[in-house]
Structures are given as structure tokens and as C-alpha cells.
Amino acid sequence: MRIDDKPAARLKELGVELRAGVSLTEQTSLGIGGTTDELLLRRYETIPDVMRLLADEKIRHRFLGGGTNVLIADGELSSVMLHLPKAHPGMRVEGNAAFVDASADLGGMVTFCGKRDLGGMEGLIGVPGSVGGALRMNAGAYGMQIGSYVREVEVYRAAAGEIETLRGNDIRFDYRHTSFAPDDVMLRVKLELPSKPYQEILAGIRVCNEKRRSSQPVNQKSAGCIFKNPAGGSAGRMIDELGLKGHRVGDAMISDRHANFFVNTGHASCSDMLKLIEDVRERIHRAYGIVLENEVIVWQN
């Protein structure tokens, strides 16, 4: 999607930086994705105006966070990619509360809070991505999930065209699912974290890092787990049991370390990855009678 000169000039007035014709292969952990214009927002307050402008001009858009849990279509994309304002460090702590921008790095948040003796989120170390993406999906690992610590979330509510603050108690955080509307955009979060000495947090972080390195292909291009675990089961174990590790479509391959991670071993396309996903879903259905649900978010054109 290419933005014409007229809307480009109006976006500039709103302080938005336009980057034309960007390839998303470099912006996703899978190394897959087509080309489009990118808009970098400078201030949260301008979001409602920017969104109105895009609607007026009929410019389709999506917000791209860390790019670590998405599979994006190949070729010229029909939506522009929006990026939230990025501040450094984009977080601060006050007593047991942490105030964090959605664009902040998730692992960076765990260590930032840890160094200030606030713990609980050690399991999230090594989960790549942004805080906003983690909130939307209720990211979790090693027995914890981010939703447990959320007290408030500031969101842009597309339905109302406004920025609103939601209370943690009014949001449902389930397994890799939340009650946010699909077009809500996470902007900032307030977390309440338990006090813990940094040395203890660091020890927890080391254990999680070690577990992750020994069971997941951390140095390969992936989007984490492709499927959600079915109730009471493990998608990774089921795929492994069918002997599918190393199975591939083009350069899209089932990791030989963890069968629920599909890796890009070279120049995999979105369509290779989608074929592999559908093939595995069908095989699991035939073998176990279970239809696996995607954990990875797919952006078709």
C-alpha cells in the first residue's frame, strides 16, 4: 500500500514519519512478510487524529508491535503498518507499580522492573516481542501470565475513536486470549508487581533462560509456538509423536528442537508457512480428532 502525496503531507503535519516501501521481512522474527509503507507515530495523543485521517482517505492499516507472533502475507500488502511512539526506556516504577509503554520491549521490562526489586514476571524473559503484543495475547510461560499483574490499560478504542483507560478487573485474561476488542490498540499499561530482591529475580531469570534454550530453537527464525495447546494437551508433543520434526514445505520447517515451533531456514514465503500449518493441522485432526487453533496471528492480504 502506497500513500499518496496529499495524505502524506497531512500525516507529516501530525508529526508522523513516513517510510515508503519497507520490506517486513526484516521486521518480523520469522523473516517473512511483504512490502508496504510504514508510519511511525511520535505522540500517543495524535492517534485519534491519525486514525481519522486514515479512515477519511480509506487507507487500510495495522499496528505492528514486535513482529514476533505474526505471519504476514507476501508481496505488496494492502495495509500500511503503524508503529507506536517509542521512548527510552518507556517505563518507570513507583512503589510496586510499573508504568510501561506498549511499544517497550517485553524482556527489557522484566529486567528494568527486576533491577528495582519488582518480580513475578521472570517467566517472560526470553519471550520476544513488545509489551503491547504480550498484553493482547496474554503472553505467558513457566506457569505465569502477564494478565495477572495488569491493573490498568490505556487503549485506543477504534469503535469510539478515543483513548480510554480500562481497569484490570474489567479485562478478561484467558489462555493466550483477552477480552480486548480486535481493533483496540494497547498504548500503556500499569502493572502491580510483588517486591522481590533482584538477586532472587535474577536466579529465576537464569532458570527460565536455561529451560528455554534447552527446549526451544531460540537462535532460529520463528514466531514461537504456532498452535495453542488444546485443553489438557500439548501441541508440540502431538506433532512430535507423529514424527514430523524436520518436515518442511520449501524453507518452512518444523523445528527439530520443539515441534510446535516452525522455523524459516532460508527464504520461506508466507504461503510455504501456511501450507505447512494446514498440513500439520490436518494430520493432527486425522490422528487425534483435534483441530488445533493458531497461536500465531496470520495477516492475509
Applying CB under 6 A, the residues found at the interface with ligand EPU are 141-142, 215, 224-225, 228-229, 234-237, 240, 258-260, 295
Question: Helix or strand or coil: residue 37?
Answer: strand
CB of 13 to ligand EPU, least distance (A): 40
User: Could you tell me the smallest distance in angstroms from the CB atom of residue 8 to ligand EPU?
Assistant: 36
- Separation of CA 21 from chain center: 22
Q: Which is nearer to ligand EPU, 225 or 263 (CB)?
A: 225
Q: Which is nearer to ligand EPU, 143 or 289 (CB)?
A: 143
CB of residue 127 vs ligand EPU: minimum separation in angstroms?
7
The DSSP code for 293 is P
> Three-class SS of residue 59?
coil
Residue 241 neighbours by CB under 8 Å, 6+ apart? none
CB of 133 to ligand EPU, least distance (A): 11
Please, what is the end-to-end C-alpha distance for the chain in angstroms? 10
| Pairing label, strands 150-157, 184-192 | antiparallel
Shortest CB 11 distance to ligand EPU, Å? 34
Q: Return d(Cα 27, Cα 128) in angstroms, integer.
A: 12
Nearer CB in complex with ligand EPU: 30/82: 30
Q: Which residue has the cell 486470549?
A: 177
Nearer to ligand EPU, 47 or 134 (CB): 134
CB nearest ligand EPU: which residue? Answer: 224
For residues 144 and 175, what is the distance between their CA atoms, to the nearest angstrom? Answer: 10
CB of 235 to ligand EPU, least distance (A): 6
Dihedral angle, C-alpha 186, 191, 196, 202, nearest 10 °: 0
**Measured from the CB atom, is 179 or 215 closer to ligand EPU?**
215
Amino acid at 174: D
Among residues 103 and 229, whose Cβ is nearest to ligand EPU? 229
